Amino acid sequence: MVLFPNCKINLGLHITRKREDGYHDLETVFYPIGIKDVLEIIQAPSLTQAFNFSSTGLPIQGNPTDNLCAKAYQLLKNDFPQIPSIQIHLHKQIPMGAGLGGGSADGAFALKLLNQLFHLDISENRLIQYALELGSDCPFFIINQACIGKGRGELLERLTLDLSQYQFLIVNPGIHIGTGWAFSQIRPKPVEHSLMSLINQPITTWKDHLINDFEAPVMASYPEIAQIKKALYQAGALYASMSGSGSTLYGIFEKGSTPKISFPDHYMTALVD
């Protein structure tokens, strides 16, 4: 069975509180974007180990047992011991450590795929709880439609937000931004204007009001990222922002208008509806 985990962008991102458990409370709008990995899981015919993991596409660092797809399998296997040995293959196209949630999407889609493949009948709410054990962004990908996220990102409220009349230019310069470092640069503060009220305003008003709290410290340390955002606006973006803690940026453009913009060859760029 094959699924296609997609990435997300953040429309606004506020860090509101440092929690006693070491995590941060946030408020953001998650919006799904059609850059996708390819995830295949099949039952293994005869393997002594619980699972076999392979990958193609972008290189994945680290031990395969630490991959969120493998962790999703182990998580469900603990509660559903009848799940047999499996083979997992992941074709990686979403840049990693880029603020697009690609790894989180892979883990969440692995939960959904295993649920379907082995007829586990796990409810959406329970899948969300499993996903939270994998990571703070993972619950969104169980729902996988526009949502306001609060708490660690697991308190999700569906939105009717529809940006299908626009297109998105995604730009990743290949700069790795450590999530821990990025959070260390933030001084949490209460939200002045709720994202719900801001997101319902015309997109032409977002530039001055819809803010990602990570942008200021990240762009101060990496001016190249600030230059990308400037270039997106110069090319006619209605709104441009960094996604998550970076380093990926996106510009929202009127559909049918091809942005006249050139980036270095080592940048990953994609124009998606």
Contacts of 109 (CB under 8 A, 6+ apart): 3, 4, 5, 39, 141
Question: Crossing angle for the helix pair 124-134 and 102-117, nearest 10 degrees?
Answer: 140
Beta strands in the chain (DSSP E): 2-3, 6-18, 24-36, 38-43, 51-57, 86-92, 147-151, 155-158, 166-172, 239-242, 249-254, 268-272
Annotated catalytic residue 106: no
Taking 3-state DSSP, the helix, strand and coil percentages for the chain, each rounded to the nearest 5, stand at 30, 30, 40
Annotated catalytic residue 8: yes
Count CA atoms closer than 13 A to 260's CA, side-chain side.
1
Q: Which residues of 66-86 are buried (b: 16+ CB within 10 A; e: fewer)?
A: ebbbbbbbebbbeeeeebebb
Exactly one of 37, 137, 150, 213 is catalytic; name it. 137
In the DSSP assignment, the letter for residue 205 is: G
Say if residues 186 and 221 touch (Cβ distance below 8 Å): no
Report residue 266 CA to chain centroid gap. Answer: 21
Active site residues: 8, 137
